[in-house]
């Protein structure tokens, strides 16, 4: 076990050393290693100050200033570091099979107050409601065994983008203008395409897929997609299509746009789904769940998207309309459009569609294991630097998974705890010696926020301990 732990430590050192090649000045290497090390420790909070206390307990203040400068002000490139993470981690992922999907999504990070960059009242998926939060758009690449975020960008609402004073205080670069989440996602996809990232089918939910221009732009890059749409999306049913442009009559020019009449009208996805015969619906199992196989009731038909095709000279290509209608429900629950080949089997279409679950795993691990949402700074640079380092730490976790033996919970690598000083107290917190004795009558030699003997306890290294518990 000690040898396995030492090997893991050595691999981490080599990983950070490789990242340091693109981080810039040599004086950034130590805070890079310290920051990533702290993100991998089982700390309750992974903002800058707790990280400093964990990695340098004998000089918390100095380390705090060093890490704060590194993450909030140091002008290293997020793109270069993310590209390096991709270079280091993708070979490990691809040993489990080729990249199959590019997954687009966004995530909300709840925030108190309104001073942190990009914070407005908007929908936050983590809370399941409208509230103050930041929203970031990401692109991940995935196969059947793992996924990795390769791009991450804050969505900057119009109220922020147009406010010169807020921009100045948050350090938002001058060239950063307002862009919709779809525009950010399309830029990320285009950059990955142009960089030659291993191709995959683009997956996205209805927040992206319901936009015809977005789907069309993805197709223009030569990428296939499976994207969620709403039941109201306009389609030409199987065997139906718009009328050809009006032919020339007399001396006038021939028509150049498609036409409709009373007998040639598109239908909504929901109308089409409700009209399908019972034999069109099949029960499909797409993967094993935690407790049981994941199964649903699906149908798929070939359709042509009809959105504003009166302005086109030719009908849009046929695509798959995939519909999920849970048994016992009054109407279908979800719809997707896909440019996968017309020969694709229903089970394969469903399996590809459901691969989008991996982005949920990405965000869960990034938030719960490496503290993606814990950054407390307010600036643009710090927000992105912290996210980049979280992705770097997460990339190391991914690369270590194949080194973890399948022997289960009995295998644990441990390292000595980094002893936090007995009198350490985060800024702004209550004095534990006063509040504990008054309320809990603790012994004067013990503080409630720190277990006795914390300097000698051993704690599990996160990248070893947490994987077996999944």
Q: How far apart are CA 154 and CA 136, in angstroms?
A: 4
pLDDT at 170 over 60: yes
Q: Which residues contact 377 (CB under 8 A, 6 or more apart)?
A: 48, 68, 71, 72, 116, 383, 386
pLDDT tens readout for residues 296-341: 999 999 999 999 888 888 889 999 999 999 999 999 999 999 999 9
Phi, psi of 250, rounded to the nearest 5 degrees: 65, -135
- pLDDT of residue 469 exceeding 50, the answer is no
Q: Which residues contact 311 (CB under 8 A, 6 or more apart)?
A: 257
* pLDDT at residue 436, rounded to an integer: 41
In the beta sheet, which residues pair with residue 323? 299, 335
Q: Is 6 exposed, middle or buried (0-12, 13-18, 19+ CB in 10 A)?
A: exposed
* Tens-place pLDDT, residues 359-373: 888 899 999 999 999
pLDDT of residue 389: 98
CA distance 86 to 93: 10
Report the alpha-carbon distance of residue 411 to residue 404 in Å, rounded. 9
Q: Where are the beta strands (DSSP E) in 289-394?
A: 293-305, 319-324, 334-338
Cα 295 to Cα 164, 321, 325, distances in angstroms: 52, 19, 11
Closest by alpha carbon to 16, among 91, 94, 85? 85
- CA 75 – CA 67 distance, rounded (Å): 13
Asked if 72 and 385 count as a contact pair (C-beta separation under 8 A), the reply is yes
Cβ neighbours, 10 Å, residue 292: 8
Alpha-carbon distance 453 to 29, whole Å?
32
pLDDT, residue 220, reads: 97
3-state SS, 381-394, equals: HHHHHHHHHHHHHH
Phi, psi of 412, rounded to the nearest 5 degrees: -145, 130
CA–CA distance from 87 to each of 150, 322, 467 (Å)?
A: 10, 35, 23
Using CA atoms, how far apart are residues 179 and 66, in angstroms rounded to an integer? 33
Of the candidates 310, 303, 314, the one whose C-alpha atom is nearest the C-alpha of residue 270 is: 303
Compute and round to an integer the Cα radius of gyration of the chain: 26
| % of the chain surpassing 70 pLDDT | 82
Flag whether pLDDT at 3 surpasses 70.
no
The span from the CA of 169 to the CA of 71, in Å, is 16
Query: pTM of the prediction?
Result: 0.84
Residue with tokens 């004067």: 444
CA distances to 101, 102, 200, 353, 360 from 98, in Å:
9, 12, 9, 17, 20
Answer for the pair 172, 155: CB distance below 8 angstroms, yes or no: no
Cα(335)–Cα(319) distance, integer angstroms: 13
Which are the contacts of 15, defined by CB distance < 8 A and separation ≥ 6? Answer: 88, 396, 399
From residue 84, give the alpha-carbon distance in Å to each of 15, 194, 386, 432, 439.
10, 16, 16, 43, 51
How far, in Å, are 108, 133, 244, 447 from residue 457 at the CA level? 36, 37, 77, 16
Q: Kindly tell me if the per-residue pLDDT of 230 is higher than 60.
A: yes
pLDDT at position 456, please? 34
**Nearest residue to 149 via CA among 363, 364, 369:** 363
pLDDT, the chain, mean: 86
β-pair partners for 320: 302, 338
Would you list the domain boundaries of the chain? 2-204+361-401, 228-352
Q: In the prediction, which pLDDT does 445 show?
A: 32
pLDDT tier at 451, thresholds 50, 70, 90? very low
User: Residues 297, 327: contact at Cβ < 8 Å?
Assistant: yes
pLDDT given for residue 415 in this prediction: 42
Residue 71: what pLDDT? 97
Q: Which of 61, 157, 153, 143 is nearest to 100 (CA)?
A: 143
């Amino acid at each position: 076990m000690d040898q396995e732990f030492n090997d893991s430590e050595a691999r981490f050192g080599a990983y950070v050393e490789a990242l340091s090649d693109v981080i810039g000045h040599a004086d950034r290497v130590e805070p890079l290693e310290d920051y990533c090390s702290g993100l991998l420790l089982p700390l309750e909070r992974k903002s800058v100050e707790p990280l400093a206390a964990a990695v340098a307990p004998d000089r918390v203040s100095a380390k705090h200033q060093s890490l704060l400068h590194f993450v909030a002000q140091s002008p290293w490139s997020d793109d270069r570091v993310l590209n390096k993470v991709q270079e280091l981690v993708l070979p490990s992922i691809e040993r489990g099979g080729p990249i199959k999907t590019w997954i687009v999504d966004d995530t909300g990070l709840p925030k108190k107050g309104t001073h942190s960059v990009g914070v407005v009242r908007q929908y936050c998926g983590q809370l399941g409601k409208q509230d103050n939060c930041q929203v970031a758009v990401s692109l991940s690449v995935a196969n059947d065994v793992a996924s990795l975020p390769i791009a991450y960008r804050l969505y900057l609402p119009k109220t922020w983008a147009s406010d010169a004073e807020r921009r100045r205080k948050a350090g938002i670069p001058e060239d950063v203008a307002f862009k919709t989440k779809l525009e950010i996602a399309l830029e990320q996809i285009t950059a990955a395409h142009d960089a030659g990232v291993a191709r995959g089918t683009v997956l996205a939910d209805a927040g992206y897929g319901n936009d015809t221009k977005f789907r069309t732009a993805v197709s223009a890059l030569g990428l296939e997609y499976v994207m969620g749409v709403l039941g109201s999306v306009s389609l030409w049913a199987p065997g139906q299509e718009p009328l050809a442009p009006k032919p020339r009559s007399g001396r006038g020019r021939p028509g150049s746009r498609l036409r409709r009449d009373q007998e040639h009208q598109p239908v909504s996805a929901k109308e089409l789904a409700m009209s399908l015969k019972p034999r069109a619906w099949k029960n499909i199992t797409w993967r094993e769940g935690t407790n049981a196989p994941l199964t649903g009731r699906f149908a798929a038909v070939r359709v042509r998207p009809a959105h504003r095709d009166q302005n086109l000279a030719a009908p849009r290509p046929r695509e798959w309309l995939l519909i999920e209608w849970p048994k016992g429900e009054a109407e279908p629950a979800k719809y997707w459009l896909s440019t996968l080949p017309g020969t694709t089997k229903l089970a394969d279409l469903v399996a590809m569609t459901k691969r989008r679950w991996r982005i949920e795993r990405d965000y869960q691990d990034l938030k719960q294991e490496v503290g993606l949402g814990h950054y407390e700074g307010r600036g643009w640079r710090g927000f992105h630097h912290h996210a980049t380092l979280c992705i770097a730490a997460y990339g190391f976790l991914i690369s270590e998974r194949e080194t973890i033996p399948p022997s289960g919970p009995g295998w644990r690598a441990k390292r000595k705890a980094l002893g936090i000083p007995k009198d350490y107290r985060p800024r702004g917190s209550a004095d534990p010696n006063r509040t504990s004795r008054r309320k809990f009558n603790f012994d004067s030699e013990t503080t409630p926020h720190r277990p006795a003997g914390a300097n000698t306890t051993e704690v599990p290294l996160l990248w070893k301990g947490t994987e077996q518990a999944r």
